[in-house]
Structure 1
Amino acid sequence: MSSPQRAAAERRDSVPYETVDLGVLVIGAGAAGARTAIELVEQGVDPADVLVVGKRQHGDAHTTWARGGINGALGTHDPEDDWTVHAADTIDEGHHVNDPQKVETVTRRMPALLRELDEWGMPYSRTPDGEIDQRYFGAQSFRRTAFAGDHTGESLLNTLVGRAQSLEIPYRENVFVTRLVEADGRILGAAGYDMDTGGFLLFEADTVVLAAGGYTSLYRRHSSRDDENTGDGPALAYQAGARLMDMEFVQFHPTGMVGARYGDEWDGRLVTEAVRGEGGRLYNADGERFMERYSPDQMELDARDVVARAIAREISEGRGTDAGGVFLDISHRDRSFIRERLPRMYERFADLGVEMATEAVEVAPTAHYGMGGVVVDAVGETDIGGLYAVGETMAGVHGANRLGGNSLAETIAFGQVAGEAIADRVRAGDPAADHASDVLHDRATLHFGSLQRLVDAEGRHDPAALFDELRAVLWKHAGILRDEETLAAGLDALASIRRRASDLDVGDPTSRSFEFAMNLGFALDVAEAVLRGATLRTESRGAHARTDYPDDDEAWRRNVVVSRDSVGGMHLTTRAVDEPSEEVQVALDAGFELDYHQLE
């Protein structure tokens, strides 16, 4: 053995870890990750060469909290709807900074993919003649949101997990991936640890798929579980050298739970848009149906950014409730209708002592979805060869504001697209897929050494407390309304947190403090990208509202791209947006638009 080889072997022995050798590693076990893995195997990839890893138990992912529905132009009720109108609605809602090619990929594929899910056993709600039912959702020109009551995400994930299990796709639970390993612009694998045992793990993989969700849990009020959507996917990609885009665009859903009667654990939890899609009405504390002032044609079903800002204005001008919210009322519908169409919402509020058939619920905006994410090409591949990103981890589909019902659609469509592309790569055989095993293990050993030094560190700062402080900073300084002074103060506050994060009090890898320390490392980069992107974009567009630049600016029909420079600093540039296809432009020019009053 040569001296360099001996030195490398000694370094590996200094920090013990398990090595898992495979073809494709999928990080994230929600709908996007599951659908990608399913497509790989259905395209002929051996299940033994695929592994899906998740931070939680199998089937327990944020997808289950997407309740209202999934879009696809089936035309069940409105036969004049088609994929081009769906694309036009998506681009209009995204304020024309979407990637038109990615929009078309989703909208073209979704009708067939909805029917495929039906074949796999998805328990859709049905029309009287047995067709897949579809409902109105905000800013959609036609009824194109397919649904399973108000538990669509849960039913979707159960369907996908069942399909994956029938294909014998391997899955490993309670795995936290902490670093991607790349060399010379190509992915080599990923490092992490087992959250149950604390043991370090190295995944040696030809291809890695990031399907790890978004970043809205980095806000104080949010609609996610606290330990999900903490920015893992975008941060892993960015720290490995991939670019991010559109990070300043954070959607605040109009209707998150608020009020002492619900308790702190429910603060910010989503009240699905399906409540408004089924006719729910918004009232201020004075009993006024205030959307008549802001959007008399689309009312409560206008775009999410419009409704969220309207609610925020009502509250700021003193017409909100004592708890800082407004009222959402669907009591004009029959109890039987509510229980059939909105069963989970009805049960949740009934358990909290609220009868939706006779009284309103209190709501206020909550951070809900990050439109930004990793820059990918037409099939989901990032700047790093062999590294893909799908679902909420990727950027491009949603532009400045996501159309309701498109999140689940994106996970399914790009899961299929990425799966097809990776299967082609596997079949073709990639001569560059030599793992450069010594490089992989040496870099992993350095990373595990840094993690080992963090174990039982007795610093001055609690990672959970710093994480909560970061959440408060984003809520205060990069919330629904922003300006230059507020954003600058947010960057200063973030820098202070980053300095203190180098001196943490941390337990062993099975502890919550260790998990928070890992989350904090991701969150600092993602939060900085949000604040810097919002500072650079000197206009208001979609979910990004600058009070010092209240209008949109045609010169800003561009995307903000975030990259890591050679010394580890954050570098921002912009790039022009492509034009839509002729077919979609025709639909845009036609000016289709939902008329709320069709519901009445």
Structure 2
Amino acid sequence: MENTDQQLNLSHSSNSTVLNHQPSENRSQTSPALDYERVSVPVLIIGAGAAGARTAIELAKHDVVPLVIGKRNYGDAHTTLAAGGINAALGNRDPEDNWGIHAADTLKEGHFITDPDGVEIVTRAMPDRIRELVEWGMPFNRTEDGEIEQRYFGAQSFRRTCFVGDRTGEAMLETLISKAKELEIPYRENVMITKLLSDGERVYGAVGYDMNDGHFLRFEAHAVVLAAGGYSGLYNRHSSRTDENNGDGAALAYDAGARLMDVEFVQFHPTGMMGDRYGEEWDGRLVTEAVRGEGGRLFNADGERFMEKYSPEQMELDARDVVARAIAQEVREGRGTENGGVYLDISHKDRAFLQERLPRMYERFAELNVDLAEAPVEVAPTAHYAMGGVEVDFETGATAVENLYAVGEVIAGIHGANRLGGNSLAETVVLGKVVGGHLAGESYTGTPKLPESQQRAADEHFRDLEALSGEGSDDPQEVLQALGDVLEETAGIIRTEEDTNKGLERLEALRDKANDLIVGGRTNRSFEYAIDLGFSLTVAEMVLKGARERTESRGAHFRSDYPEQSEGWRKNITYRQTEAGMLLDTTTPGKPSETVRQALDAGYELEYHQLE
């Protein structure tokens, strides 16, 4: 590539189906060499996981036919890895639970920089969304009385996590995809979106390419919905699937003019697989919190159940940031395993219990010659979830850019400084319905048309993509690996100002490498990696700058040079693009409703020993 700006302005990824498809002989041409397919739709949804699917379903129920596009095959989305459960205050196990306490737990876990209105919207609606999923065929585990079963999850006051064994996300996505097919919602797979067409104030569509044959695509839409996931996959040790959650959605929105928020907050799940016996393929993959929710215990290499000294009341079911830092501390002080982890043990439970409540975990480890009913497994913290993302209005899902909406992990505001386990799936189905319902109420007249300025922008971007292929010196996959190292080492579980400054310096060196990449054609993975690199560099800069700016420790963000939480930092850091570069600013979250304040004042809290 000839310049870094071209690399950094490449945005987001997704899939697509043909609506108003022009045959190849009639494709628009701006020059004899530039050929692309035009697709015109009322609403374009970028991302095909639970958030995108639920948004599309709500639109279709109101007779608006959207187009859902995804980078991978239909039904093959990151939602499937959300194994442990989905939160709703049904009160099936603990009748005193209610949505207000669920909201209070969410605010506390987010260290009071969540958006209280957004939290209330999600927690109020979740019982209805669970009943809706049941109506659509989701096979939740049941109690002896036939009610939906609910389990403990970390930092929750009551048992409110509904589940399908330990494959809840997979079961939920299957349910949503089945409903979407029933409604005949159009879908295209293996399409990567590389840029939103925006003048900074309004979005008109998007451009990208078909990853199978490499041809360019130009989407024109009255509205665009980003549902493209988070950015925890920027770290080398992470729980996401390979080549996913790399920040493409956040970078697309940023490039289009939207404001981002809370990007410095990355959740490190305490229990990712680790150790030579599992192999590189499994390193960092999630050992679901359901294992601890069902009674799993953590031990260091000396055989000590170390959470007794860090959290004697909540033990292994304290907040994820607390447990992750405890593990990191044990390893730093020399009580970790040879591989730098600890042991998670649930062998005190009967085999039949494990096979019923944790079937996927039991099967996975059995295939790796580990019997959960007989032996512990080796675990260590792994980058798991991005609390930050696009700032939205929770009544509509709208961003600061007209006609651009966002939903799911790509947004900020619901989780604050740390996410309550079980809330990610909840957010997708509640806010998917909100966004879809709002867009269904909009009036769409005629076929969307691009203004000439955006037609020129699309053509220019396609030429940039054509110029991307070349014989440089650096492999884009290796540069992405190096970027992961930078974040692991300078913006991981423990951070300092010195580290973040070093990280930003190393980031500039990687930008230089991005000028000189070895890139194959558009059907080559190196082309995808080169575009991913542009997205990832942008978001990594936000993580590092935000981590440096926030001179306190709050939730998942821990600064060893500022180890205390500061009341003066009970605010959100925002990020937006300006002509001068990335601008960081702050905003103050609102106040919770009286119902939620009363639940907070009541001081509900899980006591782990209820499990014993």
TM-score (norm 1): 0.96
Cross-structure match for 2:15: none
Is 2:335 the partner of 1:323? no
Is 2:243 the partner of 1:235? no
Cross-structure match for 2:10: none
* Per-residue deviation, residues 28-67 of structure 1 (Å, max 9, x unmatched): 000000000001111231x3xx110000000000000010
- 8 Å Cα contact 1:251-1:543 kept in structure 2: yes
Structure 1 residue 504, shift from structure 2 partner: 1.1
- 8 Å Cα contact 1:137-1:277 kept in structure 2: yes
* Per-residue deviation, residues 524-554 of structure 1 (Å, max 9, x unmatched): 0000000000000000000000000000000
Is 2:399 the partner of 1:382? yes
Cross-structure match for 1:452: 466
Instruction: Give the % identical residues.
Output: 63
Structure 1 residue 12, shift from structure 2 partner: 5.3
Aligned residue for 1:154, secondary structure, equals helix
Is 2:584 the partner of 1:572? yes
What residue identity is the alignment partner of 1:442?
R
- 8 Å Cα contact 2:222-2:444 kept in structure 1: no
Aligned residue for 1:357, secondary structure, equals coil
Cross-structure match for 2:130: 114
Gapped regions of structure 2 (runs ≥ 5):
1-27
Structure 1 residue 10, shift from structure 2 partner: 6.7
Cross-structure match for 1:488: 501
Match of 1:28 among 34, 39, 47: 47
Q: 1:136 to 1:347 in 2, by over 3 A?
A: same
What residue identity is the alignment partner of 2:344?
L
Structure 1 residue 184, shift from structure 2 partner: 5.8
Cross-structure match for 1:403: 420
For 1:430 and 1:490, locate their aligned partners in 2 and report how far apart those are by CA, in whole Å: 49
For 1:559 and 1:13, locate their aligned partners in 2 and report how far apart those are by CA, in whole Å: 49
Task: Give runs of aligned pairs for residues 348-427 of structure 1, distance below 5 A.
Answer: 348-378=364-394, 379-425=396-442
Cross-structure match for 2:597: 585
Is 2:149 the partner of 1:133? yes
Task: Give runs of aligned pairs for residues 145-544 of structure 1, distance below 5 A.
Answer: 145-183=161-199, 185-378=201-394, 379-425=396-442, 428-429=443-444, 435-455=449-469, 457-544=470-557
For 1:178 and 1:589, locate their aligned partners in 2 and report how far apart those are by CA, in whole Å: 47
- 8 Å Cα contact 1:12-1:445 kept in structure 2: no
For 2:484 and 2:529, locate their aligned partners in 1 and report how far apart those are by CA, in whole Å: 13
Structure 1 residue 273, shift from structure 2 partner: 0.1
**What do you get for the CA RMSD once the two structures are aligned?**
1.1
- 8 Å Cα contact 2:575-2:585 kept in structure 1: yes
For 1:538 and 1:424, locate their aligned partners in 2 and report how far apart those are by CA, in whole Å: 43
- 8 Å Cα contact 1:335-1:357 kept in structure 2: yes
What residue identity is the alignment partner of 1:514?
F
Structure 1 residue 200, shift from structure 2 partner: 0.5
Structure 1 moving runs of 4+ over 6 Å:
none
For 1:469 and 1:441, locate their aligned partners in 2 and report how far apart those are by CA, in whole Å: 36
Structure 1 residue 227, shift from structure 2 partner: 1.1
Q: 1:10 to 1:597 in 2, by over 3 A?
A: closer
Structure 1 residue 358, shift from structure 2 partner: 0.6
Is 2:31 the partner of 1:18? no
Number of residues of Structure 1 aligned to a counterpart in Structure 2 = 584
For 1:423 and 1:502, locate their aligned partners in 2 and report how far apart those are by CA, in whole Å: 43
For 1:91 and 1:184, locate their aligned partners in 2 and report how far apart those are by CA, in whole Å: 32
Aligned residue for 1:289, secondary structure, equals coil
Cross-structure match for 2:96: 80
TM-score (norm 2): 0.94
For 1:430 and 1:91, locate their aligned partners in 2 and report how far apart those are by CA, in whole Å: 41
Cross-structure match for 1:4: none
What residue identity is the alignment partner of 1:335?
R
Aligned residue for 1:140, secondary structure, equals coil
Match of 2:560 among 541, 547, 551: 547
For 2:519 and 2:237, locate their aligned partners in 1 and report how far apart those are by CA, in whole Å: 26
For 2:88 and 2:449, locate their aligned partners in 1 and report how far apart those are by CA, in whole Å: 40
- 8 Å Cα contact 1:36-1:415 kept in structure 2: yes
Structure 1 residue 434, shift from structure 2 partner: 5.9
- 8 Å Cα contact 1:257-1:269 kept in structure 2: yes
- 8 Å Cα contact 1:113-1:412 kept in structure 2: yes
Structure 1 residue 153, shift from structure 2 partner: 0.4
Gapped regions of structure 1 (runs ≥ 5):
1-8
For 2:31 and 2:244, locate their aligned partners in 1 and report how far apart those are by CA, in whole Å: 32
For 1:286 and 1:460, locate their aligned partners in 2 and report how far apart those are by CA, in whole Å: 47
Cross-structure match for 2:8: none
For 1:121 and 1:146, locate their aligned partners in 2 and report how far apart those are by CA, in whole Å: 14
What residue identity is the alignment partner of 1:541?
R
Aligned residue for 2:30, secondary structure, equals helix
- 8 Å Cα contact 1:12-1:442 kept in structure 2: no
